[in-house]
């Protein structure tokens, strides 16, 4: 007996595989990989109980759990689902399409605005001034901005350095930059509890990782201890960057 296997089925399998891979990547970057693994194990047990062993009583309990499970999943993963849709909308190809029709990209930081940020980081790195700068992209950070001091200033190298200067009232916490404006400083970021973050990295780095797991922002850290410049982006650390590497990373379309 032959399977009626056509191109459509092949595309179907390919799409399901990509969906699973993308979900895995998203869960990994947001630190919920154990939850994802737990759900997979549950689905496998459910399939074995209902399809292979055909246990009716246990099967009917699992069936009930699965029927309410979809709602539970939406509640559990609401941040991840939101991020997934935002990332989909901000994907390079979709942005190209938007640029084709509108002529510009909403939320994109121009190269001229990146240079003062890179220069400020370089200076702070040399003087070992600690800094935490978040570049907001398509995922809105209004709730984070509300935790700090809001203003609407042009991006300026001196201003960035002054804010993070040790005696400045706003040096503690994170600065949020959106497009060509510094939107706030002294903001509190969510701290990542990821066990894989190296032990020598403290709260500033964990806060950078936290925001990168919950949004599509770039979070730049200048270490007060070592002067190292690092970036957390999409749940990944890019450590000990040179000025050129930082510029390339920030200029790259996400």
Ligand X SMILES: Nc1ncnc2c1ncn2[C@@H]1O[C@H](COP(=O)(O)OP(=O)(O)OP(=O)(O)O)[C@@H](O)[C@H]1O
Q: Which residues bind ligand X (CB under 6 A)?
A: 130, 132, 172-174, 188-189, 191, 201-205, 207, 223-225
| Letter string b/e over residues 84-97, b meaning 16 or more CB atoms within 10 A of that residue's CB | eebbeebeeeebee
> Please, what is the minimum distance in Å from the beta carbon of residue 11 to ligand X?
44
CB contact at 8 A, 241 and 249: yes
Q: Which residue is nearest to ligand X (CB)?
A: 202
Parallel/antiparallel/unpaired status of strands 131-136 and 174-178: parallel
Which of residues 27 and 134 has its CB atom nearest to ligand X in the complex? 134
> Please, what is the minimum distance in Å from the beta carbon of residue 238 to ligand X?
15
CB contact at 8 A, 210 and 189: yes
Which of residues 205 and 218 has its CB atom nearest to ligand X in the complex? 205
> Please, what is the minimum distance in Å from the beta carbon of residue 191 to ligand X?
5
* Spatial CB neighbours of 158, under 8 Å, sequence gap ≥ 6: none
CA angle 71, 73, 79 (to 5 degrees): 115
Residue 105's φ and ψ, nearest 5 degrees, are -115, 125
**Count of alpha carbons within 13 angstroms of residue 110, beta-carbon side:** 7
> Please, what is the minimum distance in Å from the beta carbon of residue 130 to ligand X?
4
> Please, what is the minimum distance in Å from the beta carbon of residue 149 to ligand X?
13
Which of residues 7 and 195 has its CB atom nearest to ligand X in the complex? 195
Q: Which token pair is 232? A: 């957390």
Helix-helix angle 33-47:7-29, to 10 degrees: 140
Which of residues 160 and 174 has its CB atom nearest to ligand X in the complex? 174
Which of residues 82 and 240 has its CB atom nearest to ligand X in the complex? 240
């Amino acid at each position: 007996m032959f399977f009626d296997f056509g191109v459509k089925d092949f595309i179907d399998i390919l799409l399901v595989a990509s969906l699973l891979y993308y979900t895995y990547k998203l869960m990994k970057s947001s630190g919920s990989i154990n939850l994802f693994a737990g759900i997979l194990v549950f689905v496998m047990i459910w399939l074995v109980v209902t399809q292979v062993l055909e246990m009716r009583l246990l099967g009917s309990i699992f069936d009930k759990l699965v029927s309410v499970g979809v709602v539970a999943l939406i509640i559990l993963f609401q941040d991840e689902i939101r991020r997934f849709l935002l990332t989909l909308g901000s994907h390079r190809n979709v942005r190209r399409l938007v640029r084709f029709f509108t002529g510009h990209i909403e939320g994109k930081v121009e190269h001229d605005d990146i240079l003062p940020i890179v220069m400020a980081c370089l200076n702070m790195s040399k003087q070992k001034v600690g800094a935490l700068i978040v570049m907001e992209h398509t995922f809105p950070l209004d709730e984070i901005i509300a935790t700090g001091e809001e203003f609407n200033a042009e991006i300026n190298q001196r201003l960035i350095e002054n804010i993070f200067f040790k005696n400045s009232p706003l040096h503690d916490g994170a600065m949020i930059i959106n497009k060509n404006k510094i939107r706030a400083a002294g903001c509190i970021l969510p701290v990542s509890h990821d066990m894989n973050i190296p032990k020598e990295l403290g709260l500033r780095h964990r806060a950078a990782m936290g925001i990168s797991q919950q949004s599509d922002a770039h979070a730049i850290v200048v270490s007060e201890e070592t002067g190292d410049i690092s970036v957390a982006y999409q749940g990944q650390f890019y450590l000990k960057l040179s000025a050129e590497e930082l510029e390339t990373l920030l200029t790259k379309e996400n």
